[in-house]
């Protein structure tokens, strides 16, 4: 069962903003629910922060869902950022997957919109 918590607000310029707490598990078991939740959040938010601080388990399916959300955000022109990547499984998972980056990926072209920076 997914435990994503989604908070909506307005940012300083009046645009819809949101914060999605990703819960504890981002594995193949939760991948479909994660992708659906991310796409719904992107449909209603111009600025979205993904909070991964409580994540304790993540696999390639979870990473794929996050990368798909990033691609959708770039196409839509949304700002998508991720926090909480400095603890838990993130440093090792990002290192092993090759997603630990020092510069933005080709999808971003701008550091502030790269999910992993």
pLDDT over 70, % of the chain? 84
pLDDT tens profile 83-108 = 999 999 999 998 898 887 666 666 66
The pTM for the full model equals 0.85
Residue stretches of the chain with pLDDT short of 50 = none
Q: What is the pLDDT of residue 45?
A: 80
Calculate the dihedral angle through the C-alpha atoms of 19, 24, 29, 34, rounding to the nearest 10 degrees.
0
Residue given tokens 């909070």 in the structure block: 51
Q: How far apart are CA 96 and CA 90, in angstroms?
A: 10
For 41-100, the DSSP string reads HHHH-SEEEEE-TT--EE-HHHHHHHHHHHHHHHHHT-EEEEE-TTSTTHHHHHHHHT--
Q: What is the pLDDT of residue 3?
A: 83
Map out the domains of the chain as residue ranges. Answer: 5-113
Q: What is the pLDDT of residue 2?
A: 64
Overall CATH class of domain 5-113: alpha beta
């Amino acid at each position: 069962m997914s435990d994503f918590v989604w908070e909506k607000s307005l940012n300083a310029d009046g645009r819809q903003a949101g914060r999605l707490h990703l819960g504890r598990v981002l594995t193949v078991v939760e991948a479909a629910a994660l992708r659906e939740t991310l796409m719904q959040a992107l449909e209603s938010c111009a600025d979205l922060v993904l909070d991964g601080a409580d994540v304790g388990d993540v696999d390639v399916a979870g990473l794929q869902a996050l990368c798909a959300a990033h691609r959708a955000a770039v196409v839509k022109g949304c700002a998508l950022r991720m926090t909480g990547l400095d603890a838990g499984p993130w440093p090792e998972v990002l290192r092993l997957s090759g997603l630990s980056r020092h510069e933005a990926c080709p999808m971003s072209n701008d550091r502030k919109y790269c999910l992993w920076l």
